[in-house]
Structure 1
């Protein structure tokens, strides 16, 4: 912000005075003054139930305000104008459907625009959580946030559980003296009042023991176990407790440096907790491991080979793997480790942290990926899923602060206002709470994702196609109901026992009984040219790395080196010979595709990159071309790799490697674009 230096000499003061006098004699047009617009929320976060009145109180000094309302698909669905009286205008906006909406407001004085303001709001269907006895869905809050506001918002989102911590150091400030304050009491009471349940993380350090680091002493371990017992005694509504959080990373294993130290610490803490807690609270689910997505198989095995599975009722892990469907890779890693130490049997598994940060993803990508991630996890045996976070941790544009499904209280777009992902999670909880996964149906594998659930006597299928295609649904019923990603329902009448719909990357929920062969792809003609973008976070992106050498690992690039959408990209600092990234396209329409690649860049500072990046193009699994690109010279733009005939299917891909002999300059990956011209 520009500041005026008030200590300058009197000549400057005199000049300013003369100028101001001139301003009084020559009126400044009113439109040059920027009006300040404030949007008062009638409902916290502008998150409304379907039957609520959608009111917005606008405070501005102006004659009138004009507004436009856009939906998730960027379609303008409403607009209007309202006179301002007493610097206030009350807007009543009824889109007539569910979902997430963007609201743009302009103030006008004497027909000139004097200011503008943007916010967002969401409309969700009424949902009776008191009738939900079984749910897989968890929201994440943090003890320092406002539970008065967030818990009712979590209820509107439709989750049954809220994951948070009542910290050890907050309740035991003198040895063996446990104090639960108004804050903790209110948190548990608010959950109950909103028909929500706590999914509690028991953590973290306590300065009374082990110098405030990881409790490894006999006294510290027993004290932690007694803290857990006190929690459960005080709050009998707690049904699940996670023992510690991410013991594999430095943040949560202070004082420990080696893998052996960390695994021994965690096993001993889990054993002390289980031995103390389980006899007194046999019905409470003790959840173990709770490891980050950085936990190696070696780390997991070292804990489990000590007998840790006998000390937990449920197993939890965290994963932030960027491609939604790739969660199966992490799930299988944990399944295999469990079975190796449990006579080939599993125990209940929770994915208690997963999510998508707006630092890396766009808000729409977060919204799209969230239901895809959840459904893929449910389809692969995960019992409970926690989306991290409910609220942004900060307004700073960094990774950790931007995971929220609603915004920070100080956000310029409005306190607690929703991102589109809030609405997609709300739509999913309403469709799949109490549902049981049945099967992943094989309809054009790789081109159509189809997951069948049963909810009571109702069949629900979640379907989508990353590249877009048609599908025929076969039924004896007169009609089928299709619910879109925002929760809006459309009834399709069957014609000759068939309902035909078009799928895209946004999952839909298909409700109704189908008959064999259930569904079949309906190949759509390529009537116009269109483009498919496959980024490092979207579609069939994979990496090959050399884990033993830090500089040869694929990592997220620094924030200043951005991709085609202004978001984070991937980089390997010193690519080894085997370093490789692959984009595999799901091609639903065969034809001639122009392929181009975006080279990451920094507008103000050249990104140091390899001058010989090799892009090898495969059509139907056969190599058809190899193109060398100078990633340093061509940074910050789309580079054409040529035009190729690509067949339908998932065997069309592009591999990126480095051919610079020294392999001493970074190799960068972002997005490919496949453009079909009919």
Structure 2
């Protein structure tokens, strides 16, 4: 957006923000049509209302609607002004979307004519023909504005159906925002050597800002009033890299609005990596304004759509939508190729999404041919459908491979007849559910005969990015067996989303995961790699689909199209790999990776580019015969020269690095390493430089980092650990880089990463006291070597507030702990003050009625349920817990769970009745067969506890018991033990698992955690579903759906309950009535379990009897037993339990 006049910092009056002057085109406005309408959105110089151009929306609307719309970066709208002109329209519909997603729609009257009409709107939740929907859906305007649409209805065109609408000077009036980012360079994507700056719109009286590189080092800082700064923050000239800018805007009332943005700096290039592209949605509703950023990232193609139903609105007539034409023109202008997904259905030929008839297939083939006719074959390729194997499963085509191959054959025959050089890919496989069986059917039906490349989407959010190699190995084995050993493979979707909820990842992890996946896919011969996707689809931080992008959404508070780290990392990678042939994937051992590329045209024949990374930090040495340029993930470079042994030395870790020069063998060892073992904010970190001199002469070396130098002389044959001088850092994640120099030459570049922590650190956790009361447990850790005296810790929970630890003295290295009783729940915050300050915040949630007490009981993990569990309440897996297709009753899948704990571990025992045992998968794929999954997190559901864990165990068909951990990714299984045994005679599988508290990341002293358990079922023909105790693992990854668990202290005597069972005849048949009396002096919990249902009674008063009658709907009822569980908790917090089998007599009812 462009600011017409800068608001004064302290001004209270409104100021104009231009959201549509159309001087440089129509972006980010875009056209939308419904029904039978068509439209184009362009600009016109025909007497605009202001400036030199206006927007022109030309439509043909015999029915339906046409609109021009755009997203808005959160404007506090008070008045909307716009100029419009139309000779045919009698009214214009205005639709505004507020911050809740609620659409507010009204009609603005127009007088048809050739003159401009000035419209002004100040009522947004009202007006003529006002309606509202979505979001809050309460008919109340909830600012700020997030989207605007100008809409034409067919019945308001006179005469029709053709109409032209000109629009100009769309201006939003409102007070200056507390802080808004206004990029003045598209997407804050700068070229190396250019000054870096961006605009800010703010009501602030002063601004303070600092910029950090991707590794936490401050590279620029400043302050000033908005007037002094000209509403622009300038960072000067920055080196190649990704940077984040933090801004504090002090408001006229003294409060501070915090915000920021991100910038990317990349070298200018005309290179495009044709093997790597990104998914875009310009064919849907993305504005094309972001298209130049594809080129800046060096991406070679965009995967996008031109939907069949929009291209062919009349049988045999093919017209490509304006937004598609505009998008493909923008791609060509930026030297980006087009990979068109040919999709989806068309009601002209069939109902439902996927074609299942010859007529539908023929129609689709005609659309495919028209696409190739239109976009050609030199700069475009085509993918037939998208994820057929999981889409429209219940439609006429049934998502079957046979129906897909029939569509594919019709399409290939039609297209290849006129365009034999066209490249067709398919089936855009989604490798989930029973994908291998689907693929076998696809191959058997001849699918490989009709494609030029096999496309697949190997998402795996709970594994390292290299995990795709297992998938590719399966594909290649199947292709070879089918006589197609050389079938090219394309990844047409893969990505990671950046949400805080697992399995979302941090933006930096997204960047490194994409880089590793792309490099290894190139090395393994994958023909194309497509990032899903290029731009965030929205701004909801919890929505996965809103956070896949390499750049941010146009309405993002951090600035329209602002770069995420993945954008810069992609730009660096493509500049390294473009036009380089792959030589080999280096064989470096488990957890170590390297891909070697050859020279570009014009480079020396011995030039090599090696991309190196490892799952754990290490230092490697590489042979070289000349200078070597080392480039990190974000483009920072260091030039090294070989040492006397002809080697350069580099730190290698989870982020790929790039070495370019005359390179030779890579050795996964080096005489040098750098490690940081502790880092406190504002102080130099504890760092160690390790040197191993294996030579016959002493070595004199220096280590240079941020202007600090450490000298060392190491005798021949000796190894030394030297205290390294590294610069102090502020609190947060920081990576230090240091150069090793010898004899005046740089021979190595070392890195070390650490979390820089505050000297005085405050944390808060929800906990239970010894008596079981809810508390906020505040802890102050003094990392100084000397004692400190606190002024105190102020806290707020909801409307409650107070101060604790006043004048408390905390010894060096010690922790002060204070419990704050919770009388209310919700958001909390706390601040410690003293020699230093620190803040903490979070959410505390009250346990609901489903919270479960976890008894204190150790269990032997041997695959046999301990007898002691018979005295403890079990969690049943009955009918209500089944999410299994065609579940046939308890004998199909049912069972009982026991969760217990002691001071060192959490224990899980599951006795599962399962008529068929089947587990064909291994390791991380065991969820596809009979298996158990445990999800866990600290705190209670809804409190955002971290880490979120997910582990699984299974008895495999191959024989071994497999234990795997999906979350945290690469968390490992240290501290977790398991055993699974199957009794085929009783059709019972017993799972046992124990996990240390450290492995779970749970502090047992807090006495609370959250968990969920899923039992997957496979009867030999694929995963049928699962039985679930709690949710948040199998159906979605959402720890908010876990069960709340209370960790109970050791128990006392059995609960004193009296029980009685009776059988009676009711009109519906026999019934079992159970009576339970609480004979304790405190309230008791009672649960009655029968084959016909479960009934729980909470807090049964002393002396009170509870009863429940279970109807069987059977006239004849044999003798049996019901299970009665009882539990009480004494005032001291000590629990007691009882589990009793209560027999009931037979009965025959007439």
Instruction: Give the TM-score normalised by the residue count of structure 2.
Output: 0.46
Contact 1:82 1:89 in 2 (8 A): no
Compared with structure 1, are the counterparts of its residues 351 and 35 closer, same or farther at alpha carbon in structure 2 (3 Å cutoff)? closer
How big is the shift at 1:49?
2.0
Compared with structure 1, are the counterparts of its residues 529 and 85 closer, same or farther at alpha carbon in structure 2 (3 Å cutoff)? closer
How big is the shift at 1:560?
9.1
Q: Which residue of structure 1 lines up, in the alignment, with residue 608 of structure 2?
A: 459
Q: Distance in 2 between matches of 1:596 and 1:169?
A: 55
How big is the shift at 1:584?
13
Q: Which residue of structure 2 lines up, in the alignment, with residue 489 of structure 1?
A: 637
Q: Distance in 1 between matches of 2:940 and 2:308?
A: 39
Q: Output aligned runs, 1:139-158, within 5 Å.
A: 139-142=278-281, 143-158=283-298
Q: Output aligned runs, 1:236-247, within 5 Å.
A: 236=376, 238-247=379-388
Q: Which residue of structure 1 lines up, in the alignment, with residue 179 of structure 2?
A: 37
Compared with structure 1, are the counterparts of its residues 451 and 52 closer, same or farther at alpha carbon in structure 2 (3 Å cutoff)? same
Q: Output aligned runs, 1:23-34, within 5 Å.
A: none
Q: Which residue of structure 2 lines up, in the alignment, with residue 248 of structure 1?
A: 389
Compared with structure 1, are the counterparts of its residues 222 and 82 closer, same or farther at alpha carbon in structure 2 (3 Å cutoff)? same
Compared with structure 1, are the counterparts of its residues 545 and 634 closer, same or farther at alpha carbon in structure 2 (3 Å cutoff)? farther
Q: Which residue of structure 1 lines up, in the alignment, with residue 475 of structure 2?
A: 334
Does residue 66 of structure 1 match 2:66? Answer: no
Q: Distance in 2 between matches of 1:555 and 1:512?
A: 47
Match of 2:365 among 225, 234, 242: 225
Compared with structure 1, are the counterparts of its residues 265 and 492 closer, same or farther at alpha carbon in structure 2 (3 Å cutoff)? same
Bigger shift: 261-270 or 92-101?
A: 92-101
Bigger shift: 396-405 or 83-92?
A: 83-92
How big is the shift at 1:493?
1.9
Does residue 286 of structure 1 match 2:427? Answer: no
SS in 2 for 1:247: coil
How big is the shift at 1:494?
1.9
Q: Which residue of structure 2 lines up, in the alignment, with residue 313 of structure 1?
A: 452
SS in 2 for 1:120: strand
Q: Which residue of structure 1 lines up, in the alignment, with residue 263 of structure 2?
A: 121
Does residue 170 of structure 1 match 2:310? Answer: yes
Does residue 187 of structure 1 match 2:327? Answer: yes
Q: Distance in 2 between matches of 1:196 and 1:278?
A: 24
Q: Distance in 2 between matches of 1:165 and 1:527?
A: 49
Bigger shift: 378-387 or 292-301?
A: 292-301
SS in 2 for 1:299: helix
Match of 2:276 among 137, 141, 145: 137
SS in 2 for 1:476: strand
Q: Which residue of structure 2 lines up, in the alignment, with residue 421 of structure 1?
A: 566
Q: Output aligned runs, 1:71-90, within 5 Å.
A: 71-85=213-227, 88-90=230-232
Q: Which residue of structure 2 lines up, in the alignment, with residue 21 of structure 1?
A: none
Compared with structure 1, are the counterparts of its residues 596 and 150 closer, same or farther at alpha carbon in structure 2 (3 Å cutoff)? farther
SS in 1 for 2:663: coil
SS in 1 for 2:224: strand
How big is the shift at 1:107?
2.5
Q: Distance in 2 between matches of 1:166 and 1:585?
A: 39
Match of 2:651 among 499, 502, 523: 502
Q: Deviations over 1:356-399 (max 9, x none)?
A: 11131111111111111111212222111000010111222122
How big is the shift at 1:108?
3.7
How big is the shift at 1:455?
3.1
Compared with structure 1, are the counterparts of its residues 586 and 442 closer, same or farther at alpha carbon in structure 2 (3 Å cutoff)? farther
Bigger RCO (CA 8 Å, 6+ sep)? 1
How big is the shift at 1:542?
5.0
Q: Which residue of structure 1 lines up, in the alignment, with residue 950 of structure 2?
A: 570
Q: Which residue of structure 2 lines up, in the alignment, with residue 519 of structure 1?
A: 667
Compared with structure 1, are the counterparts of its residues 469 and 567 closer, same or farther at alpha carbon in structure 2 (3 Å cutoff)? same
Compared with structure 1, are the counterparts of its residues 95 and 218 closer, same or farther at alpha carbon in structure 2 (3 Å cutoff)? same
Bigger shift: 267-276 or 185-194?
A: 185-194
Contact 2:401 2:445 in 1 (8 A): no
Compared with structure 1, are the counterparts of its residues 562 and 127 closer, same or farther at alpha carbon in structure 2 (3 Å cutoff)? farther
Q: Which residue of structure 2 lines up, in the alignment, with residue 267 of structure 1?
A: 405
Match of 1:92 among 234, 239, 244: 234
Instruction: Give the TM-score normalised by the residue count of structure 1.
Output: 0.75
Contact 2:238 2:265 in 1 (8 A): no
SS in 1 for 2:199: strand
Q: Deviations over 1:549-594 (max 9, x none)?
A: 5x7468999x99699985865366x97794621599999xxxxx99
Q: Output aligned runs, 1:91-110, within 5 Å.
A: 91-94=233-236, 96-108=238-250
Q: Which residue of structure 2 lines up, in the alignment, with residue 449 of structure 1?
A: 593
Unaligned runs of 5+ in 2: 1-98, 101-174, 679-752, 756-921, 977-989, 1011-1026, 1038-1150
Q: Distance in 1 between matches of 2:583 and 2:597?
A: 5
Contact 2:935 2:948 in 1 (8 A): no
Q: Distance in 2 between matches of 1:109 and 1:488?
A: 37
Compared with structure 1, are the counterparts of its residues 438 and 394 closer, same or farther at alpha carbon in structure 2 (3 Å cutoff)? same
What is the aligned-residue RMSD (CA, Å)? Answer: 4.1
How big is the shift at 1:410?
2.2
Q: Deviations over 1:292-331 (max 9, x none)?
A: 1216211111111122212111111111123211110111
Compared with structure 1, are the counterparts of its residues 266 and 567 closer, same or farther at alpha carbon in structure 2 (3 Å cutoff)? farther
SS in 2 for 1:176: coil
Q: Distance in 2 between matches of 1:170 and 1:586?
A: 42
Q: Which residue of structure 2 lines up, in the alignment, with residue 602 of structure 1?
A: none
Does residue 55 of structure 1 match 2:438? Answer: no
Q: Distance in 1 between matches of 2:472 and 2:397?
A: 27
Compared with structure 1, are the counterparts of its residues 510 and 567 closer, same or farther at alpha carbon in structure 2 (3 Å cutoff)? same
Does residue 472 of structure 1 match 2:472? Answer: no
Bigger shift: 152-161 or 87-96?
A: 87-96
Contact 1:561 1:568 in 2 (8 A): no
Contact 1:545 1:554 in 2 (8 A): no
Match of 1:212 among 340, 349, 352: 352
Q: Deviations over 1:218-263 (max 9, x none)?
A: 110000000011111122255310001101103x5550485xx611
Bigger shift: 206-215 or 164-173?
A: 206-215
Match of 1:381 among 499, 502, 525: 525
Matched positions, count: 572
How big is the shift at 1:616?
9.0
Does residue 545 of structure 1 match 2:926? Answer: yes
Contact 2:383 2:425 in 1 (8 A): yes
How big is the shift at 1:141?
0.5
How big is the shift at 1:525?
6.0
SS in 2 for 1:320: coil
Q: Distance in 2 between matches of 1:180 and 1:390?
A: 23
Compared with structure 1, are the counterparts of its residues 594 and 220 closer, same or farther at alpha carbon in structure 2 (3 Å cutoff)? closer
Contact 1:60 1:87 in 2 (8 A): no
SS in 2 for 1:394: coil
Q: Distance in 1 between matches of 2:955 and 2:558?
A: 44
Compared with structure 1, are the counterparts of its residues 57 and 583 closer, same or farther at alpha carbon in structure 2 (3 Å cutoff)? closer
SS in 1 for 2:483: coil
Q: Distance in 2 between matches of 1:114 and 1:358?
A: 27
SS in 2 for 1:475: strand
Q: Which residue of structure 2 lines up, in the alignment, with residue 398 of structure 1?
A: 543
Contact 2:206 2:226 in 1 (8 A): yes
Compared with structure 1, are the counterparts of its residues 367 and 341 closer, same or farther at alpha carbon in structure 2 (3 Å cutoff)? same
More strand, by proportion: 2
Contact 1:138 1:162 in 2 (8 A): yes
Q: Output aligned runs, 1:340-355, within 5 Å.
A: 340-342=481-483, 345-355=485-495
